[in-house]
Structure 1
Amino acid sequence: MTTQQQTLKVQLVKSPIGTKESHRATVRGLGLRKLNSVSELQDTPAVRGMINKISYLVKVL
């Protein structure tokens, strides 16, 4: 049996300029750079926590 790893696509929709340093670091940790950049990540509790922390900056596709 093959287990398929679930993925999430996350898009940066708001600029992290003026936000807390830890929130900017979280954006970079998710692999997001410019506005509207999209990153495909594995669906893990750690990644979900990072997305939850900066939910006001990103959109999950």
Structure 2
Amino acid sequence: MAKIRIKQIKSSIKRPKNQKLVLESLGLKKINHEIEHENTPVIRGMINKVKHLIEISEEN
């Protein structure tokens, strides 16, 4: 399966609790932190919740 690279570009301060929990469950801890996940529907749903706080790049 394809990999997806996620980078946090905005802070989670003053965000609703559910958005903070999604960032935490993705494994993002602070601004400019990058992680790599499999491109699954579950991860895509999480990305959709916090798309304004992250930057996405797809890899093969």
Give TM-score scaled by structure 2 length. 0.91
Q: Which has the larger radius of gyration?
A: 1
Cα offsets for 1:5-46 (capped at 9, x unmatched): 211000000001000001000001101001100010010000
Find out whether 1:13 has 2:26 as its counterpart: no
What is the identity percentage for the equivalent residue pairs of Structure 1 and Structure 2? 32
Q: Which consecutive segments of 4 or more residues in structure 1 shift more than 3 A? A: none
Which of the pair is proportionally richer in strand? 2
**Match of 1:46?**
42
Q: Which runs of 5+ in 2 are unaligned?
A: none
Q: Alignment length, in residue pairs?
A: 57
> Which structure has the higher relative contact order (CA within 8 Å, separation 6+)?
2
Q: Which runs of 5+ in 1 are unaligned?
A: none
RMSD: 0.6
